[in-house]
Amino acid sequence: MDSGRSTRLLFALLLAVFSGFVATAILLVAQTTIGRHFWAWGEGRVRASQQAGDEIIKGLAAYHADKGKYPNEIDELVPKYLIAIPRPRAGDKKWRYRTTGDDAGFELSFAFDDGEYPICCYYSEDAKWHVDE
């Protein structure tokens, strides 16, 4: 075997080993909080979750107009006000909902992971989405 071919084979072997290390490092980072944050809490996912929440908010407004109060659970919106409850696409993909005060308003939110920050919350009193990093 000539030395040029040996050098190329050695280079190919080293490149394959290095690529394996890089792939392993990427997988490890993806499993960390930073990696999970990147995949689970991207700007597009947050925006899509807010849009899904806007549908729930419309259902809550219609429920309130009919009954003079907000429901105890958002599941009460189905099937009259919503066909189904759309899931958030960001974070842990769970809605958190509660009425405020004397049923004067509500809060609807989704979080990164079981209530951990960041949290995106809609407050009916100011009718805006807020992201608390």
66/81 Cα distance (integer angstroms): 10
Does pLDDT of 67 surpass 70? yes
Beta-bridged to residue 116, according to DSSP, are: 113
* Structure-derived torsion over alpha carbons of residues 49, 52, 57, 58, reported in degrees to the nearest 10: 160
What is the per-residue pLDDT for 28?
A: 47
SS3 112: strand
Q: What pLDDT is attached to residue 36?
A: 47
pLDDT score, position 13: 64
CATH topology of domain 42-132: Pantoate--beta-alanine Ligase; Chain: A,domain 2 (3.30.1300)
98 to each of 43, 89, 110, how far by Cα in Å? 25, 20, 12
Q: Where are the domains of the chain?
A: 3-31, 42-132
